[in-house]
Amino acid sequence: MYEPRPREDHPHAGGWAPAERLDALGQRLRLMHVHAHPDDESSKGAATTARYEAEGVDVVVVTCTGGELGDVLNPAMDRPEIVENLPEVRRKEMDAARDILGIDQIWLGYADSGLPEGDPLPPLPEGSFATLDPAEAARPLVGIIRRLRPHVLTTYDENGGYPHPDHIQTHRVSMEAVRQAADARLYPELGPAWQVPKVYYQMTLSAGRWRGLNEAMRSRGLEAPYDERLTHRPVDEAYQARITTRVPCADYFEVRNRALLAHATQVDPNGMWFACPVEIEKEAWPTEDYELVINHTSSMPPEDDLFAGIAVEPR
């Protein structure tokens, strides 16, 4: 059985144990995020994570790969000793981000597929995550789901949030694992079947958000920093309309930023992640956003809580 960290150890608790949020059986709420690489947990939904951890929810991040084939994206960290030891460095960065967010974290253990470039695109490395049969690659995640029994699981949409092979595979493996974990006929050795009550797609980095932050900057007479990004990935109104759930979490944007900066090889402190001042961001877009895609509760969108229909409100 999963044993979460004591609440008094929570890094956002300020020395006191926050009240636990519970389900109808009196069990502490449990949230699982499934991500492709170390740093994804900090760039997608990290303020939501920090908020729920502070409210007494147990949050676990499952990281599918080690990000071994990633590049050093922060010029200040582009040094030979970093590049030569990037897998080890990224694991240490993940440890630091984990502690900042207050989460537990599990490595799924698959090999990074890299982001192929060129025309035609080169084949992915043999045996890498994105080359595997999702139905088979899901098995370790099935075991984790059955052991931890999350009330809510988040993953990427069918396009991976953006078309990185590992992100698309994370979507496929996550959805397959949710299906398999609920089927008692499959893998009985992995424990009792568990139907995840709610599954969400991460929509936090939608183009609509970048547009909203751009407009907020312009309205204050400041340069809009996301024009180029929006040129490459313009707003798709149909995609924006898929958002069902907006979680208020502006009070935790600073925690998110600290977690992002812990991934020093991947995040340039002078780059796009911090181009909009956090105080403007809090006013212009104070939520992180999700699409509810599996729902075995009574909750009906629109929502402002991933645990709507599950959490029992304190009396």
Contact at 8 Å (CB) between 142 and 180?
yes
Q: Confidence band (pLDDT; 50, 70, 90) for 20?
A: confident
Binding-site annotation, residues for Zn(2+): 37, 40, 167
Binding-site annotation, residues: 37, 40, 167
pTM assigned to the model: 0.93
Instruction: Report domain extents, the chain.
Output: 26-205+243-278+287-295, 207-242
User: Distance between CA atoms of 311 and 315, rounded to whole angstroms?
Assistant: 12
pLDDT of 250-304, one tens digit each? 999 999 999 999 999 999 999 999 999 999 999 999 999 999 999 999 999 999 9
Q: Which CATH superfamily is domain 26-205+243-278+287-295 in?
A: LmbE-like (3.40.50.10320)
User: Distance between CA atoms of 151 and 172, rounded to whole angstroms?
Assistant: 20
Report the chain's mean pLDDT, rounded to a whole number: 94
Q: Tokens standing for 73? A: 């994206």
**Kind of pairing, strands 287-295 and 198-202?**
antiparallel
pLDDT > 70 in the chain, percent: 93
Q: Which amino acid is at 32?
A: M
Contact at 8 Å (CB) between 31 and 4?
no
Q: Which helix H or strand E contains 295, and what residues bound it? A: strand 287-295
Q: Confidence band (pLDDT; 50, 70, 90) for 11?
A: low
